Amino acid sequence: MLSVVGRRTNEGWVVRSSLRRARGIMAEGRSGSSVGTRRVMSASTPGVGLRWTESIKRGTDVVLSVMGLIGLSPVLLGVWALVIVTSGRPSIYRGKVVGRDGKGFDCFKFRTMVLRGDDRAFVEYLKAWVAGQVTPYVSGKEYLYKFGRDPRITGVGRILRRWSLDELPQLFNVLRGEMSLVGPRPPVVQEYALYGHKERGRLTIRPGITGLAQVTARSGLTFEEMLRLDLEYVQQRSVGLDVRILMKTIGVVISGRGAR
């Protein structure tokens, strides 16, 4: 049974620590403005500076994705074969997600779950998470909000998720222009259906493989905290900030902090 009681207050120090980390990353990624400063300009109608940033960002996405697919091709082939051997075909899962400006697309991942698993508990979790009613569970020294102990996940799938190897096929989504290397994570269709105007603001740019929220606390944020960080990134995004997030992503993956 999914617990949807109110959030405990004794992990407030975890949240404050995470948000301080996020502000530190944001501050490193830009100069001359405070963290709380909001640009008046809409992210969907950028000015000259943001248009240049978007052009550089898109070019960087393409170059790094091609390099990643070539350099990681042995890993991609190995994981592809491992999934087939241990749990059959298909090896690639096409998740229905929502991207920029509400446009849906298939998000590629290595399959980490059993086929035809019952997702009703997950849908109920999404409703509670977006509503801020999920109680965190403790894993080691962390309070995590991600849907935990999912019986649909295979043994190999847990290993792939631990090292984020399941997300490597999303480099193809980046090449197709559906995603960026850095940006808010794309919500599944069931989650997007629960969004209001404010929540949809996180999708005025391309979603990313990694993002500010992911390097801040990975699975240790409430929906409201994740939304706050995503909107902050949308407003303050820059090439320098993307570089710092990408570098910090490597450390987060190696540490395994918040992996599920």
Report d(CA 162, CA 164) in Å as an integer.
Answer: 6
Mean pLDDT, the chain, whole residue set: 82
Under the banding of pLDDT at 50, 70 and 90, the label for residue 21 is low
Residue 136 has pLDDT above 80, yes or no: no
**43-47, 143-147, 212-216: least confidently modelled range:** 43-47
- pLDDT (0 to 100) of residue 140: 52
- 91-98: long-range pairs with CB below 8 Å, 24+: 92/169, 95/188, 96/188, 96/189, 97/186, 97/187, 97/188, 97/189, 97/192, 97/207, 98/186, 98/187, 98/188, 98/189, 98/192, 98/203
**7-21, 70-84, 101-115, 209-223: least confidently modelled range:** 7-21
What's the rounded mean pLDDT across residues 70-85? 98
Under the banding of pLDDT at 50, 70 and 90, the label for residue 80 is very high
In terms of pLDDT, which residue wins out, 248 or 254? 248
Residue 257 has pLDDT above 80, yes or no: no
pTM of the full structure: 0.80
